[in-house]
Amino acid sequence: MSKAEILAELPKLKTEELAEIQARIEELAVYGPDGWLVDGELTEAEKRLIEARLDDAEKHPERSIPWAEAEARLKARFGE
């Protein structure tokens, strides 16, 4: 579907559908099609490290702790 066709179809959509499309466009503007921050300053090595750690967290959920506990540990270590 061409850009012109997409733009022609937009006025035909319901309010909820337009809101969904707007949210997706905003998400792409911030994160880009690959899911990483568009204006982010991460190197490729840093991205690979984060992906590896996310994969490990998914494979071993028993190693995870609740956010409240993680937050408390971070505040204790680094202050608020």
> Mind giving me the DSSP string for 64-77?
---HHHHHHHHHHH
Measured in degrees and rounded to the nearest 5, phi and psi for residue 60 equal -130, 65
Instruction: Kindly state whether residues 56 and 26 are assigned to the same domain.
Output: no
pLDDT at res. 25: 86
Q: CA–CA separation, 63 vs 65, rounded Å? A: 7
Give the global pTM: 0.43
Average of pLDDT values for 62-68? 91
69 and 48, same structural domain?
A: yes
In this structure, the answer to whether residues 32 and 48 fall within a common structural domain is no
Residue 24: what pLDDT? 86
Predicted local confidence at residue 47, as pLDDT = 85
* Average pLDDT in the chain: 88
pLDDT digits (tens, 9 = 90+) for 28-61: 877 777 777 777 677 888 889 999 999 999 999 9
Q: Are residues 2 and 33 in the same domain?
A: yes
Give the domain range for residue 69.
42-80
Residues 32 and 64 in one domain: no
